[in-house]
Structure 1
Amino acid sequence: MLKWLTRLFLLGLFLALCAVAGVFVLYQQVKPELPDVSELKDIRLEIPMRIFSQDNELISQYGEQRRTPIAIADMPSQLIDAVLATEDARFYEHPGIDIIGISRAATVWFTTGEKRQGASTITQQVARNFFLSREKTVTRKIKEIFLALHIESLLSKDEILALYLNKIPLGHRSHGVGAAAQVYYGKEVSELTLAESAMIAGLPQGPSVLNPISNPARAAERRAVVLGRMLETGKINRVQYNEAMEAPVATRYHGAEITLNAPYVAEMAHQFALSMFGEEAYTKGLKVYTTIDSKEQQAGTQALVDGLLAYDLRHGYRGATDHLWQDSPWSLDKIEEYLAGQPSYWPLEPAIVTEVSAQSATVIAKNQGEQTLAWDGLKWARPYISDARQGHALRQASAALKAGDLIWIRPQGEQWMLAQLPEINGALAALDPNNGAITAIVGGFNFTLNKFNRAQQAERQMGSNIKPFIYSAALDNGYSLASMVNDAPINHWDPGSGKSWRPRNSPNVYDGPIRVREALARSKNVVSIRLLQGAGIPAALQRLNDLGFDTERIPATDSLALGSPSATPLQMVTGYAAFANGGKKVTPYIVERIEDSQGVTLYEAQPQTTQVLSEETAFLISQALSSAIWGGTSNGRHWNGTGWRAGKALERKDIAGKTGTTNDSRDAWFSGFTPDRVASAWVGFDDFARPLGRTAYNANLDGSQVAGGEFGASTALPIWIAYMKAALADFPEHIKDMPEGLYTTTIDPNTGLKTNGEGITEYFVPGSEPKYYSLPETRQSFGGTSVTDDLF
C-alpha cells in the first residue's frame, strides 16, 4: 500500500512539475509579446479637454470619451462593495487570478459545454482593458493571466482597483464610475444612492445593453443581481436591499455639467488648445481657463439676443414656420411626439397652435405642455411686408395664427409670447482695455443655428465708428478739440470717374464752423472728411495700421473718413481700447492658462501692449467721445451727442463712445468704454446687400418703441448698454486724470477762441491752444439746426 501511495505521490509530483514546466514554456513563448506593465505606474487615462471661465464655470468639454478620474479614497464604500460583490468578491485575497473562480467556471464548461460563468478577476480585466484586445482565444487568456500576475507584483490592490474603476467602459461614452454617475444620474459618485451604485456596478458585463437609458427592464434585472450578491456577502441588510429594489430605474442622459453657456467662447478656446497640442488635446485632460467673466458673458449673450429679438419684433411677423393640418387636428400624443423632434434655440421653443380666440391662443409647447398666449404676447405681430414696411396693427389673434400652425414662443415674464427666429444677426465683443483679456464675446444669435463667429470673423463696414481714429490723426497733425472746421457741403469733382462726389451729413443739415469736439460728438460727416484731408490720408492709414487694422486692403481715398473700410467687432473693440488705456495697442486673447490633469500649468498668457499714440491724444479723443454721451453747449443752446441714450441709462460720467451706421444702414455699431471695460456691438444681416430698413409706429405698443430708421444709436447702442450695466456693476466710477502733457484753458464754445469771461474749459497740448481771444459777438449760424439725428 505504501508503495502505491509513494508511486501516486511521485506521479502527482511529476504531473505538477510537468504543469510548471508547461507554464514556463508557455510563458517563454508569449513573453516577447507581453507589454511592459510598468507603464501602469505612470498611466495617464484619456481625459477630455474642458474649457472654463476665469471664475471656474464649465463652458464645454471636448473628447470622445467622458471620464472623471477619482482617487480610491474618494470612492464611496457602497459603490466599491457593489463592484467587488459582482465582479470579484475575493479581489483582496487572490494573487491576481482566482483559482476557485477558474475551477468553478471550468467545471460548468466541462459539465454543460457552456461558458456561463466568467473567471476573470478585476486585475485580469485591468490587463485586458489596458493592454489586450477583447478577442476570446486561449492565447489571449494566457497573456491575460501572466499580465495579471505581473500587475499584482507591481501595484497595490487599491492602485489596481482605482485603475479599473476609472478605466472600465460603462456605456454612452462614459468611462469610469465618475463619468457614469454624471451621465446616468447627473451626480458626483459621492451622491449616489445604493440603488444607483448597484446600477453602475452592474454595467461592466454589458454597458451597451444593460444601461438604464437604453434598456430599463434589463438594467433592473442586472441591478437585482448586484443587490442580491451584496446581500449574500453581508455588505447590505435586508431593509437596504428591499428599499433599493423598489427604487425607480428610469433615468436620462446627462451631458457634461455645463454651467456657463458660451459656445462661441468654447470654440475659440478649443481651437487655441488644438493649435498648441494637436489631437492630444482631446485626451490629455487639459483644463483650459479662459479670460471670460461668467457674469459678463451671460449679460452679453442676453443683451445681444434681446436686441436682435427686439429688432425682429418691431419689423413685423413673417408667419408660421409650417402648417401641420387642415381639417383633422392631431392628437396630443402626435403633437408631443412631433415637437420632441424639433430643435430649440434658446430662448425660443417650438409650439403648435391648437386653438385661437379673439385675442389669445392656446398652444402645446415643447417641454412646456399647454400654454396660453395672451394678447400682450400677440399684439406686436402686425404683418411683415418688407424690411422697411409693416402692415396695420393687429386687432384679432386670428389675423396672425390658426390651429395647426407650427410657431416659436419665448418667455415674457411668467407667461409666454409669440416669437420667430430672427433673420437679423449681430455680435458683441468686450475686453479689459488694460491688457486685452476678452471678458465677453458673442458671435451671433445662436451657435447651434449658425456657428459662424461674427465677433471674430465678420468683416463689416465700419461706418462712423472709424471717425475717432481719423480725428486722432488730425489731433497729431495740428488740430485741437477747439479747432473750428467748416461744416458745409462738399462738392468734389473726380476726373477719373467724370462725376462729382457730394458726401452728405445725416441728416442733411450743416452748421457752418464747428469745434472738432462737437463735430465728433455729433458725427459730422463733412468735418471728418476735411480733417482727413488736413491730416493727410497717409497719417490716417498709419494710425489705423498701428491700431491693428489691415490697411493693405483699404483704398487711400477720402471715403475712408466715412467708414468705407471693414473690420470685425473684435478688431473694432481692440482699436477703441487704445483710447481707454492711454494710447496702448493691446493684443486680444481669450485663453488665460492651460493646465494638465494634475494641475501643472502648461501655458500662461503673456499680455502684450504697445504704445501707438500718445497718452495725451488718447485722453483728448476720450473727452470728445464723452461729449458724444453727454453733449455740450454752443450758441447758447445744448446739443446732444449721438450716444446720449447711454448716459441716460447708465448714469455715470466715465463712459465714452461712438455710434456707427453705414450707407443705407447695412451695418449698425456702437463702440464705447470706461477705463475698465471696452465693448463693441454690431448688428446687420449676413447678406451684405440687405439694409436694416425702418419701422413705423405700432399703435398696439407703448410709446417707448423704436420707430423710424435703424441706426447705430437705435439698434446697436441698446445692446451695448445692456451689457455694460452688468459689466460695470462691480466697477466704481473711474474718471481718469488729465495727463501731465496737457493743460486747460477757458474758451468760447461758439468760436473755439480764448476768453477772459464766461466760457467752457478745454484741454490742450501746449502749442495747440488758440492764439487769439474771442470777440464779444457770437458767430453766425450757417443756417443749420441744433437737432442731432441718431443716424451716425
Structure 2
Amino acid sequence: MKIIKWMLAVFAALTVLGTITVVGLYFYWQDELPTVAELKDVRLQTPMQVYSSDGELIAQFGEIRRIPLKLEEIPQPLINAFLATEDQRFYDHFGIDPIGVARAFALLLTTGEIQGGGSTITQQLARNVYLSFEQTWTRKIKEAFISLHMERELSKDEILELYLNKITFGHRAHGIGAAAQVYYGKDVKDLTLAQMAMIAGLPKAPSTMNPISNPERARERRAVVLGRMLAENVITQAQYQAALNEPIETRLHGAEVTMSAPYLAEMVRADMVSRYGEETAYNAGYKVYTTVNAKQQRAAQRAVQLNLHGYDERHGYRGAEAVLWQPNEEAWQHDDIRDYLNKQQTIGLTVPAVVLGVTEQAALVLTASGSPREIAWQGLAWARPYMHADRQGPAPKTAGDILAPGELIRVRATEQGLRLAQIPEPSGAIISLRPQDGSIAAAVGGYSFAMSQFNRAIQAERQIGSNVKPFIYSAALENGFTLATLVNDAPINQWSPGSGIAWRPRNSPDVYEGPIRVRQALAKSKNVVSVRLIRALGIDTTVEYLTRFGFPIDELPRNESLSLGSSSQTPLEVARGYAVFANGGYLVNPYFIDRIVNDDDEVVYTARPAVACVLCEEENDREVVQAPRVITEQNAYLITEAMQSAVWGGGSWQHRTGWNGTAWRIQRSDKIVELAGRNIVGKTGTTNDSKDTWFSGYVSGLVTTAWVGFDNLERALGSTTMNENLDQQEQPISGAEGGAKTALPMWIDYMETALEDADIQPFQVPPGLVMARIDLATGKLSRKNDYTTRFEYFLPGTAPTEYAEQKSSNKDIFADDDSIF
C-alpha cells in the first residue's frame, strides 16, 4: 500500500507540475499564438494569374500552385480518403486525438525519440500555416496550443476546408485543386477513385511518394489509402479491387493556359513585381486582367511566326540539324528515335522529326508523338540551298536533293499537310494599341519566348528608317509647307570638309522625279525630299518637334541623317508616335493592365488612362483625364491624308499618270479593304542595307507597328530571286528585303484579323481646313476638272493663290541649291 500511495503521490505531483508547466508555457508563448482574426482570415498562398481582356488565361506565376475550393465543391469520396488515412476521428476529437497521442508516446518510450504520427488534421494545419516541420518538444507543444485555439474559434468544416486547400502535394502543388491539375490535368470532380486515393496519400511524403518522381512508392501508398477506406467502409470490396488494379498514368500538367502570350505575360509579371514585390505578387492570389484582346493576340503571334518562316523559306534551306545515322549504317528503331526526339525541343511552330526515307518527290518522317508521316513535294519544293543572305542555290528537283535518311530536321503543320521547316534566323515583333487611350491590343516580341526572352516589341531600339518621315512632314506642315508644296526630288551631293567625303543620300529605289508635291513625296517615301525638308526646317526645330511624339530628345541625332531614320526607337515608341496622327493630335501613354483583382474578388486597381477626346476638351469635361495635345487636329488629319496616298496612290492609270505608294500591297488584301475601305493608312520603313524593316499603319481605332530584322545589328536581311519550283500563287517576294516586302506582309496578316474587332470610323475633316482644286504638276490652283487635278486640303491662309495657267511670280520650293536646302 505504501508503494501504491507513493506512486499516486508522484503521479499527482507530476500532473500538477505538468499542468503548471503547460500553463506557464501557454502564457509564455501567448503572444506568438495567432489571434482570432488571424485564424478566421488564414490566407491561401495563391499564384498570380494573368488574363486577356476577354477572360482567357495567359499565364500563372508563383512558386505555389493553388486552386482554392469550397468544401461543398470537393467530392465526398475524396474527403473520405483523407479522413480515413489522416484522421478518422476528426469530427469526434477536440483538435488533439488522445489515442494518437498515446501511440506517439509509446513510440517515444520504445525508441527514445520523438516520432511522426499522432497528429490530427487540425494539428497538421497548425503546423503547415504557423510552424516548422522540425521534430521537437517545443514545436509539438505550440502545435497543440494552436490546434486547441483553432478548434475553439473555427468549425470542423472550416478547419477541414483550410487543410485541404493548404496541404502540400509536391511539384509546387498546394491544395487538392492544384494537385488534381498538376498530376492529372483535371478538376477534382473528374478524378477517379484511384486518383483520389493517390492524391490523399501524398501528404505523408509529397516529394518522394508522388507518382511522377517515384511511381512504385506512390502505388504502395495508394494501396494503403484504399485499404484504410475499405476498413472504414466508405468503399466496397469491388471498388477497392478496381481502384487497386488501375494503372499509374500521370504526368506533370501546367496551369490551364488557354492562350499563349509569353511576352505579354512577362510584361505583366515585371510590372506586378515592381508594384508589390515578388512575395506578394506571386502568392497573394492576384488576377491581372490585361487590355489585350485574345483574338488579336493570337493573330499577332501567328503573323510574326508565319512571316518569319516566309522570310526563311525564300532565302533557302540551311540543312539538317544533326545526322543520327549515315547511309552505310543501320537505321535506328522507331522507339529509339522517339526517345531521342522526346529530348529535343519544340520551338515555335516547328517540331523535331527524323527522316526515315525519301522517294522521288516525297519524304517519310517520324515525330515523337506519332506514326511515320509523309512530307509531299508541296512541302519541300521551297528548299533551295541557302548560300548567303543575297544568294540562293538552284531549285531542287527531287526530295533527295534536300533530305537523306537519318537526318534530324524540323517540320510544321499547315492546311496542306506537313511542311519542311527550320527555326527562322531573323527576329520580328508586332505591337498594336488603341490610339484613343493607349491600351495595348496585342504584343509579340519575337518568334519564340522559349528561345529568347528579349521582348523586341518594347525593348529593341532599332533605327526606324522611313518610319520617321511622317513626323518630319508633320513638322514641315507646322512650318509653312502644304501637301501641295513642290520640293525637288533630285540627287544631293554634300561635301564634308571634316571627313573629306561627300554625303550622297539616295532614294530607294534610286529613281528621281524632279519637282514633286509633299503628299506624293511622303507616299512614295522620297529620301532626298525628306533631307531637303529637314534642311528647310533646321535640325533644332525638327528635333524639338519630334519630341512632341514621345521620342526622347537624347535619342534623336542632331544631323541630317535624322531625315532618313537614323534615330533608334522601340516598336512601342513608334506606334505611340503614330497614334498621335490616328487620334487627332494627342500623346497617349501605352498601358497593358486594365485592372487587378485580389483573392477576395475585390478590384484593387483600375487603369485610368489619359484619353484623346476632342469633345471632352471642348466641353472641359473634368471627369475625363485628358491626354496632352501635341499637334493640331488639322495637322494630324493632313498627315493621315498623305499616308492614305501611300496605300492608294494617285494619278490616272487610264491616262498613264497613275502611281503607287509604298504601301500599295494593302490594296491586295480583300479582307482589309472589306473591313476598312479607304480608311486605312500606313508608312514603310527600311534602313541602310535592309538591316531593319518596318511598317506602321492605322485605322481610327487601332495602330500597329511591325518590325523585322536580325538581333545581330551587323546582319542585313539581304535579297532573293524567284524560285522556279513555285507557281505564281506560292511565289515569294523577290528582290531586296525592305519595309514593303518584309514587314508589311506581317502587318497585313495581323490586321486582316485584328480589324474585325477594331473601331473603324472614317477620318473626319476637322474644322478649319479649306479645300481647293490644284494642278498635280505644279501644286497651284487649277480651273480644270480632269485627271491632271485633284482637291487638296490646306490650313487657312496656306492655299496657293496662283493658277497653273498663269505665269508664276513666286519661286516654288524645288531649288536644287544644296547650300539652302
TM-score normalised by the chain length of structure 1: 0.93
Picking from 768, 784, 791, the partner of 1:761 is 791
Q: Is structure 2 residue 659 aligned with structure 1 residue 659?
A: no
Determine the C-alpha separation between the residues in 1 that align with 2:507 and 2:149: 84
> 1:483-536: CA deviations, max 9, x gaps?
122222222233333332222222222112211111111111111112222223
Alignment correspondent of 1:695: 720
**Residue identity matched to 2:424:** P
Moved more, 49-58 or 710-719: 49-58
> 1:13 Cα shift?
9.2
Alignment correspondent of 1:37: 34
Identical amino acids, percent of aligned pairs: 51
Determine the C-alpha separation between the residues in 2 that align with 1:107 and 1:497: 94
| Structure-2 change in CA distance of 1:461 and 1:773 (3 Å) | same
- Helix, strand or coil at the partner of 1:746: strand
Determine the C-alpha separation between the residues in 1 that align with 2:807 and 2:313: 51
> 1:324 Cα shift?
2.1
The correspondence of residues 66-145 of structure 1 with structure 2, limited to 5 A, is: 66-106=65-105, 118-145=117-144
Determine the C-alpha separation between the residues in 2 that align with 1:146 and 1:660: 71
Determine the C-alpha separation between the residues in 2 that align with 1:264 and 1:245: 45
**Residue identity matched to 1:730:** D
- Helix, strand or coil at the partner of 1:56: coil
**Residue identity matched to 2:691:** R
> 1:36-83: CA deviations, max 9, x gaps?
122322222222222222222221122111122222232222221211
> 1:290 Cα shift?
1.6
Determine the C-alpha separation between the residues in 2 that align with 1:580 and 1:335: 54
Picking from 475, 478, 482, the partner of 1:473 is 475
Alignment correspondent of 2:518: 516
Determine the C-alpha separation between the residues in 1 that align with 2:435 and 2:609: 11
The correspondence of residues 213-612 of structure 1 with structure 2, limited to 5 A, is: 213-279=212-278, 280-326=280-326, 327-413=329-415, 415-608=417-610, 609-612=627-630
Moved more, 513-522 or 526-535: 526-535
Q: In the comparison of the two structures, how many residue pairs are matched?
A: 774
| Structure-2 change in CA distance of 1:767 and 1:563 (3 Å) | same
Determine the C-alpha separation between the residues in 1 that align with 2:12 and 2:183: 50
| Structure-2 change in CA distance of 1:519 and 1:240 (3 Å) | same
Alignment correspondent of 1:647: 667
CA contact (8 A) 2:470 2:522 kept: yes
> 1:673 Cα shift?
0.3
> 1:298 Cα shift?
0.6
Alignment correspondent of 1:782: none
Determine the C-alpha separation between the residues in 2 that align with 1:70 and 1:776: 85
> 1:107 Cα shift?
5.2
| Structure-2 change in CA distance of 1:112 and 1:731 (3 Å) | closer
CA contact (8 A) 2:114 2:135 kept: no
Determine the C-alpha separation between the residues in 1 that align with 2:738 and 2:102: 83
Alignment correspondent of 1:155: 154
Determine the C-alpha separation between the residues in 2 that align with 1:335 and 1:115: 52
Determine the C-alpha separation between the residues in 1 that align with 2:100 and 2:277: 45
> 1:24 Cα shift?
3.1
**Residue identity matched to 1:722:** D
Q: Is structure 2 residue 784 aligned with structure 1 residue 751?
A: no
Determine the C-alpha separation between the residues in 1 that align with 2:774 and 2:510: 28
Moved more, 545-554 or 82-91: 545-554
CA contact (8 A) 1:653 1:733 kept: no
Picking from 639, 647, 652, the partner of 1:621 is 639
| Structure-2 change in CA distance of 1:10 and 1:163 (3 Å) | farther
> 1:382-423: CA deviations, max 9, x gaps?
111110000100012222211221111111225211111111
Give the alignment's Cα RMSD to 1 decimal.
Answer: 2.4
Moved more, 107-116 or 12-21: 107-116
> 1:16 Cα shift?
5.6
Determine the C-alpha separation between the residues in 2 that align with 1:295 and 1:151: 48
Determine the C-alpha separation between the residues in 2 that align with 1:506 and 1:105: 86
- Helix, strand or coil at the partner of 2:515: strand
> 1:325-376: CA deviations, max 9, x gaps?
2223222222111111111102101111222222222222132342222211
| Structure-2 change in CA distance of 1:306 and 1:136 (3 Å) | same
Determine the C-alpha separation between the residues in 2 that align with 1:13 and 1:763: 111
Picking from 723, 731, 739, the partner of 2:750 is 723
> 1:18 Cα shift?
4.3
Moved more, 269-278 or 538-547: 538-547
> 1:117 Cα shift?
8.2
Picking from 770, 773, 780, the partner of 2:803 is 773
CA contact (8 A) 2:305 2:348 kept: no
CA contact (8 A) 1:86 1:201 kept: yes
- Helix, strand or coil at the partner of 1:740: coil
> 1:452 Cα shift?
1.0
CA contact (8 A) 1:426 1:444 kept: yes
| Structure-2 change in CA distance of 1:436 and 1:321 (3 Å) | same
**Residue identity matched to 2:750:** Y
> 1:212 Cα shift?
1.8
> 1:461 Cα shift?
1.0
Q: Is structure 2 residue 171 aligned with structure 1 residue 172?
A: yes
Runs of 5+ unmatched residues, structure 1: 779-792
Determine the C-alpha separation between the residues in 2 that align with 1:730 and 1:593: 21
Determine the C-alpha separation between the residues in 2 that align with 1:138 and 1:369: 60
> 1:636 Cα shift?
5.6
CA contact (8 A) 2:445 2:458 kept: yes
Alignment correspondent of 1:787: none
Determine the C-alpha separation between the residues in 2 that align with 1:477 and 1:198: 78
CA contact (8 A) 2:700 2:759 kept: no
**Residue identity matched to 2:594:** E
- Helix, strand or coil at the partner of 2:628: strand
Moved more, 735-744 or 131-140: 131-140
- Helix, strand or coil at the partner of 1:633: coil
Alignment correspondent of 2:740: 713
Determine the C-alpha separation between the residues in 1 that align with 2:85 and 2:581: 67
Determine the C-alpha separation between the residues in 2 that align with 1:748 and 1:520: 18
CA contact (8 A) 1:655 1:673 kept: yes
| Structure-2 change in CA distance of 1:630 and 1:501 (3 Å) | same
Determine the C-alpha separation between the residues in 2 that align with 1:728 and 1:311: 24
Determine the C-alpha separation between the residues in 2 that align with 1:369 and 1:20: 77
Determine the C-alpha separation between the residues in 2 that align with 1:622 and 1:368: 52
| Structure-2 change in CA distance of 1:511 and 1:174 (3 Å) | same
CA contact (8 A) 1:91 1:122 kept: yes
Q: Is structure 2 residue 707 aligned with structure 1 residue 682?
A: yes
> 1:711 Cα shift?
1.0
**Residue identity matched to 1:597:** D
Determine the C-alpha separation between the residues in 1 that align with 2:503 and 2:105: 97
CA contact (8 A) 2:348 2:447 kept: no
Moved more, 375-384 or 744-753: 744-753
Alignment correspondent of 2:19: 23
**Residue identity matched to 1:667:** D
Determine the C-alpha separation between the residues in 2 that align with 1:151 and 1:408: 59
